């Protein structure tokens, strides 16, 4: 039987986070994964403290650990190493290995390959915590708070309860719904042949964390003429706090980094537009009340006195 799915998971200094990520990719957690032919290629991209396979020994997940010595601070090279090793017809790219998925991410994404010939499928980005982490860390959000939130919802017993303790990435939107157009995803599905034909990750994006590498991969994939861009409703990819280069920085430091990344993108692509001008198809469901992110946004605004019904 051919391999259906290869998950490429990139890790740097994520000893705390990776066991949870792998739990969310496991056969007992992902719906329909018990009989799914899939693999997880976990790339430890030169971490100062190497990952220890014993920390996820009790998780039923088909994972292969690849250690990169003398690694580039960018994940681009690590992605391409895993792409060469991947056996699946479909790639799921998780460029930041600190993300936890909801239980239907595999099932909904793979269903898109039954509906369309060549889809690129995006799972929406959320932060763990009650605010976007660049702001919430200033207000006292830390890993201890995060651990307690996950304990409170008894994760991973009920994976969709992540919506109760998460905040959608706004990307500048004044009002957020599931239908806001995405321009990047940390859980992105594409045919392996498509990604390989595009040359994989562009290693000229050489800043720590990759700079705008993730945006570049997303844009190049969805702009391929024969591709159907798909956004999944009702599933999420939740970012754990781990000291990421932009997600967990704030203020002037974050703004300075983003400007540096923007200049590198323009230099490489000779283009200033970061967002693809394409139409998306929406597929999905609303698994719980809390997964209605529009209602969550309204409830929080009402509590803050910003809405009067």
What contacts 24+ positions apart, CB below 8 Å, involve 153-157? 155/100, 156/20, 156/23, 156/24, 156/29
Residue 256 contacts by C-beta under 8 Å, 6 or more apart in sequence? none
Domains (ranges, CATH) in the chain? 5-303 (3.90.550.10)
List, in sequence order, every residue forming a beta bridge with 126; answer none if it has no partner: 168, 238
CA distances from 56 to 12, 64, 134, 239 (A): 16, 12, 29, 19
Per-residue pLDDT of the chain (309 residues; tens, 9 = 90+): 688 999 999 999 999 999 999 999 999 999 999 999 999 999 999 999 999 999 999 999 999 999 998 899 999 999 999 999 999 999 999 999 999 999 999 999 999 999 999 999 999 999 999 889 988 999 999 999 999 999 999 999 999 999 999 999 987 777 889 999 999 999 999 999 999 999 999 999 999 999 999 999 999 999 999 999 999 999 999 999 997 555 555 567 778 899 999 999 999 999 999 999 999 999 999 999 999 998 887 777 666 665 544
Alpha-carbon radius of gyration of the chain = 18
Give the Cα-Cα-Cα angle 266, 98, 188 (nearest 5 degrees): 55
C-beta of residue 15 within 8 angstroms of C-beta of residue 44: no
Burial of 297 (0-12, 13-18, 19+ CB in 10 A): middle
């Amino acid at each position: 039987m051919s391999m259906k799915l290869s998950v490429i998971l990139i890790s740097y200094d994520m000893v705390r986070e990776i066991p949870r990520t792998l739990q969310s990719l496991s056969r007992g957690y992902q719906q329909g994964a018990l009989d799914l032919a899939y693999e997880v290629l976990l790339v430890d991209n030169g971490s100062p403290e190497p990952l220890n396979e014993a920390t996820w020994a009790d998780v039923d997940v088909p994972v292969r650990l690849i250690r990169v010595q003398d690694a580039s601070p960018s994940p681009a090279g690590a992605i391409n190493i895993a792409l060469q090793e991947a056996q699946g017809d479909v790639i799921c790219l998780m460029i930041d290995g600190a993300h936890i998925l909801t239980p239907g991410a595999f099932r909904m994404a793979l269903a898109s390959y039954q509906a369309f010939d060549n889809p690129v499928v995006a799972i929406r980005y959320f932060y763990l915590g009650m605010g976007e982490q660049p702001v919430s860390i200033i207000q006292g959000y830390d890993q201890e708070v995060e651990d307690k939130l996950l304990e409170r919802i008894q994760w991973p017993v009920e994976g969709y309860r992540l919506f109760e303790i998460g905040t959608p990435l706004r990307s500048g939107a004044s009002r957020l719904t599931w239908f806001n157009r995405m321009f990047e995803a940390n859980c992105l599905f594409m045919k392996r042949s498509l990604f390989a034909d595009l040359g994989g990750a562009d290693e000229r994006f050489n800043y720590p964390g990759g700079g705008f590498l993730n945006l570049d991969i997303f844009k190049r994939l969805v702009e391929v003429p024969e591709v159907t861009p798909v956004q999944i409703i009702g599933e999420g990819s939740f970012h754990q706090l781990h000291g990421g280069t932009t997600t967990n920085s704030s203020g002037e430091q974050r703004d300075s980094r983003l400007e540096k990344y923007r200049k590198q993108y323009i230099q490489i692509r000779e283009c200033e537009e970061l967002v693809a001008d394409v139409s998306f198809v929406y597929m999905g469901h609303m698994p719980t009340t809390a997964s209605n992110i529009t209602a969550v946004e309204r409830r929080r605004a009402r509590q803050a006195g910003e809405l009067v019904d």
